[in-house]
Amino acid sequence: TEMGYKVKLNDEVKFDGRRINPEPKVYVLLNKPKGFATTTAEGKGRTVMDLIANATNANVKPIGRLGRNSLGLLLFTNDDKIVQKFTNSKTGVARLFHVELDKNLKFEDLKKIQDGFKVGEDLITVEEISYIEGESKNQVGIKIKNTGNTILRTIFDTFKYDIVKIDCVAIGHLTKKDIPRGHWKHLTEQELNTLKML
């Protein structure tokens, strides 16, 4: 409506009803170490944004959260469609976590978690849970579609277990292969296509 108006990066511009994003779509996969907060806010100490500062100039944000002391994979993007795909807990993309507990997980508790259980009015469900082969029974693999890891604390708190370590080892088909702790990589075309099809 104003002649000579210069569009800013955070302005929403639409053409034929579709949003135009001036930035190219960017997808960065980080293998997060301990001690970094999952936030884009300033003044929070060391954050995951510091770790990917050299990856892109695009305005990317992390999808989901990993606590400051949690480890593992975190995906960053400026692609709204991918963000929506992840944040829909019914059709979302599953994440696999390696969780270490303060004591062995009883088989009957594992079964209850697998079958789903209620906390108040909420039904808590997981995609899969199992002991990790060759490890003691306090090491479990758990797959969820929820984007936060607070759900993991809710699950194990309910059954009176403390979490010692959380490590996100896979997001859909994406793994930590060839990404050392604290490093990142851009998704390949093939990885991105597979992610869109999930």
Neighbouring-strand partners of residue 97: 142, 168
More confident site: 10 or 174? 174
Over range 97-112, report the average pLDDT: 97
C-beta neighbour count of 11 within 10 angstroms? 10
Q: DSSP characters for the chain?
A: --TTPPPPTTS-EEETTEEE-SSPP-EEEEEE-TT-B----TTSSSBHHHHTTTT-SS--EESS---TT-EEEEEEE--HHHHHHHH-TTT---EEEEEEESSPPPHHHHHHHHH-EEETTEEE--SEEEEPTTS-TTEEEEEE--S-SHHHHHHHHHTT--EEEEEEEEETTEE-TT--TT-EEEPPHHHHHHHHH-
**At 148, is the pLDDT very low, low, confident or very high (cuts 50, 70, 90)?**
low
Residue 155 amino acid letter = I
Structure confidence by residue, pLDDT tens digits, 152-163: 999 999 999 999
Closest by Cα among 95, 96, 112, 120 to 156: 112
Indicate the pLDDT class of residue 1, thresholds 50, 70 and 90: low
pLDDT cut 90: percent of the chain above it? 59
Mean pLDDT throughout 26-53? 89
Q: Could you give the CA distance from residue 68 to residue 47 in angstroms, rounded to a whole number?
A: 8
